[in-house]
Structure 1
């Protein structure tokens, strides 16, 4: 607002400072001296004019601050202005005339006192100096400074070095500044409200005074016309000043409202900034904790990974040393000299509580005492014995323990554990020993030995330096060979036809090779052909070769030779030819001797022939057999299982080399030329190491996509053991039950052995099911039977070479159930429980690398139902119902030949047809069943049952019925005319008498 304002008609100057309230008018005023009459009229009007100007200006300023009452105040001011305009119009003429008179008079200068105005200025100046603590300009400057602070990059980028403490201080300063501004704004609002009330009261007084003065002016219109014109001009100027003051006041109030809203927003922003600072501080602290925890976990994982790597390196080193020792031992097998332990005494150890031989221990004399060692058998359910591929347990698991804790082995001892193996299995399998070393089952070096006093047993011997738990197992035979740069050849100890030929410089350093052969017999191929639809075109398969190579590539190809059965059609043809040849050799044709001249003539003709036929070798004969005739037409095909296939007489086939990857998938090795060296011998070369591979002989129309399925089916079939479950009950005690799981090939021997032990009753064997070596067999019961022991679900471990059986006593669940049956019925459920290692693909991605590569892999328990066998137990132990007391039957009718004597005679002569006779005589089935039940639970005989049937019929027959005719017809109808004749003879004799 301007500091000075001029009021029209008076030339007065009023200074309005920042804290003025509209009362700072000029102290000097120059005017003409009016006349005596005019002076009386104008003096009060001028005074009132100044009062009106001041009051109206103040009122309008207040009206701008208070919008609620502003409209009413402006309306009142308009009414006052209209009244003043009316007064000016009535006295305008008079004022014009008097103004002319006054112009001729001398001017008088009136000096108003300036002391009051100066005092007001000094008072407001002091007040403004007292309020210098708060200044709106400084406040706005501070807000700009704070805004510039937050625009800096220091507070925009949130990281570990974020100035949280400085941010908290800045937010506190902003909060203090906003609180100060808010307090000053509230004080200003209160002062303006008080001033508005005071000015409203002054406005009302002025309005009342002006209204009264206007009334007095209207009474003398001719005298007030000049004054009205002056007032009109003054009011016009006054209205302009008031409008200007109102606009200035509105701007001031608008600025005040905007400032207040800015302050509120700034306060809200400050609160948000404080919360954001607190959140940022918490987030920074949380991130620091997470980072610290992550570093600790990372360090822990790295430490565990380091330990794992060290453990794996140690295991690899141990395996490498064991492998080197095994190679040396295998390569030098048969060339060893007599060992020192052969001269040591042998101590035979029996199992605790049994007389069976557990092992034979050899110890150094004078340092080993057999009384310090005990040997006991361990239940396989109490340990976690891990089976490898194609491994089988061959005997009891024994634990060597000292008799006291202070005893330790001073020197190594040699333990020989007996085992039995069939001749067929011994051809392709070998025995070895696993030991429980610090909770982990590992293979230890072993050697097969024999003892003269136990020629019927084989022993596998190990050297131990501490007391351990040992188990004898078998696996496929292994061949350990070390190749060098020189050419060499490996022949399998399982089958001499399987060879691996290595050329010179195939390896640049020593190469250790391990070879295992898994035979595939014709029975396996036949089962696959009949049961698996994908294998219907499979003709034959070679053995599965499992190899371990240290190198990842070959510098030269390696030649593999392995057997494979021939095409069945070709094999039948060759067998027929050999049979004819043998018959020809057994029955040679007789040749008549020719005369001498004829013989000489033939000899001369033979000498004249230039080309003499040579005798063909066996290989040439086989080549001619295998070679197809040139002019032979292709054999017709027939429709077979939705496909055009050759018949069984087709001698054409294809050979494919199929290999298995590390993930377990089979694939066809491309570009392999398989040559048939002999009828059942194949030869081919490989360019890179293959872990497992075999050759399939299939029909010519077989799709190549089916070969991996065939290989997988053969491999899975060889992994399983096909068995049957046998449940038998003791004949003299049907509740005593034995369950045994046996291979299909030995099921008859198992049943015969059970019969010899007294277990003859029971259901038939189950269907053929597949299990794996080492599976836990669990028995559950369903229906009205249960196991009458503390172990409700018996368990045992299946082993092909050991008895896999369990015994339990059956009982009923509720004796009041199944009342309609003469036995209690139930079902025996047989489950196989195995632990499966989960696939890595199923593991969540969130798991760490340590968990995925950990050697302690968690296993999942899998329970599979393999069969259900129904079984029954008798109700002998249930107390039978009491025998009903039957009232005696007395026949007192002597006038009829059918009497008690005849009934007794007929009951004695009848046989099993009496039930049919009873049906003919209209005796109900329920009555027949009651007669039979009473006979079973009582001491009655079959004759008594027949007599009761005849008495039942006789009791319900009326007297008027001819009983002889009815009984005779019944006997005749059921094939007993002799009894009918006896009844007629009895009737005739009765009539004669």
Structure 2
């Protein structure tokens, strides 16, 4: 590692030179600077001479190594030549390895010589660099001496001289090195050419020997191949002959087997095809039968109410009956729906259940009917607005007990009114069945086996049910209901009920029902929510109560787990139904008081706070209407009654708490009584909204109360005791003052224009004539018209209409006259609308029949004389501008003015009466109020009338 040592020495000397101090600025430090510099330079000179000697030693060693390598190569070549003397210049193939070895040695020698040349060049550079370094050191010494001897000599001149000398020495060194390099390259080129000539000659001799040897071998191989080819051909001919014979036998055998296989496969294919055809036919029949038995593919029979009532939740629909085709016809059943059933069946609804539909009864007209599949009865029901409630079906088959059923799905596309809510039940083998839709609290079902369960409720995350092991020996269904206690009910109870005055708060009411008796006590874990008012919880205590089937309320054992808000309630074994509640009560109150309070709170947990609205007609105060509505709907109901003309009389009663199905009795006292009955019972239903009654008021003695301008009396309200099992009765009553005018009511305004029959029949005749003659193909409209009466009757009406019309070819005019003559031919009290609707449906004019029903409803309820009078009172003075916008002619407008002895309101009233039977209203159809509002938007000073029309449009859209 001497080379590394040399590098380290040179690096040390370089650092010593780099750390020399700067020359002094005065002559005082010259001697010291000279001493330090001379010492460093002498040491560096000695070191560089030592390194130069190392380079000379390496060069000498390389020359000696090159000489020794040439001698070794020559010895190897001579030994190979002596080894090949006995071969007459021909080298056997087995001695080729020796030649390859010789070639490899030659190549390695050339690479070694190139490396040594490169090394020699590097060492020359090292020696040259050392010389330069020594010269620089001498130059530095000379410069220092010159500087010290003669300060007057210019440093730049001395530097230039020294630089020229150094350049000269460098030039001489480069020239010497170039001459040496040229000499060395010439020697190497000469040696290379000699070596190439030698190698070329040897290669030619080798190739010649190889070619002769190759020709000899090829000749021998050719003869050997010919012999082998001849033998191989003989063997192949023999084998080919044998193979052809074998193939022929195999081909014959294959053809025979293929023929047998083909026959077998053909027989199997025919059998398989026959079997597939049989399966396909059976599957097709099965699918057809399955599709035939699927209620989703059945066409329903629609039964309507005979009384013509059309509440928003049923639209005159009694029920839809789905039956498998060819098993039951529409005329085989009789369907009735009624809201007047509670007197005989008042125990149908259990506590907590709320009526959601009318009672529907379906009967078979003739004995038993063999039904292959159960029929599906679907009844319309009210919308359930409370998210915690669900709709179920209660049914009684052949007069049996009422049972609960989960409603089946009803495809809305199969019903005549898809926008209604339906609940269905499947029934088989019956003579009569009663169906009722009720709303009840949603429940969660658990399936419990012998291992028990511990599961949180999906209805309320704060409630968890724990059923221990061996509570049930077989899989048993367990149902959990959670009914939230409404804040306003609790507030009302604590204010008015004596036993609830010390109740501060309650939890939800939890009901557990099991299909079998429990063998082990079960637990109900309750996590109490954070109280809204911390002060209230600090002065209250929590009591946990439960009630089993047929028993009274009891105090339950409870245990606090972890947090004070986590409570575990223990329920006893050998029971199948529990009702659980947590009550927070004031300290010092006895437990017996809370047991009675639990009974009252449980009964009213699903109750509503209601008011009784009593209003009299403005044009006839003797007519009184009573409504029992929830308190949040009072203002809306008052607005609706005012729109219908019930705007005078008392306002609303005090608040009552009623459960669904509970009734209020209304009586009169003082000098006013009700007829024909002296008292009226109003039954409340939260969803049905049907707790209303209309009564006639009259004075008991017209000669009494002479000191008053009106007859004075009172309406008394009293909550009726609920006779259902478990019902709690708390007597509650109230009253309202009521008056009747003594003077005779003014007669209603009469029209000067004479009207033969109601305006809505005139509009219906025009509207129906226009629609039929436009939509009908050819004279098919005659079929619908002809079905209104007997053939002879309709022929006579048709013949008279043809003689009265101006243009006998105008079908619209003929159809309108026929309809009007038919209506006039019927008695006044006879319904003329139902036969028309029925005739349209029989002729498959379903859309037109629905449109006619809506049109009649609008004209009866919103275009009556009372409505026209109310609109006229809101009409601006310039009503003629609106008349022109509505399409009335100048002649009609003039007729409303001429001979008028009334006010502007009377004239506007006559104008509106002409407009409601005009062609513009007929063209508008059911959009008549939208067109009226459009005409009003172009006028000013009629904001009250615009608002009235908008409210009417909203009421129509809700129906």
The TM-score range, normalised by the shorter chain, is: 0.3 to 0.5
Which of the two has greater helix per residue?
A: 2
Q: What's the TM-score once normalised by structure 2's chain length?
A: 0.42
User: How does the TM-score come out when normalised to structure 1?
Assistant: 0.40
Higher RCO structure, 1 or 2 (CA under 8 Å, sep 6+) = 1
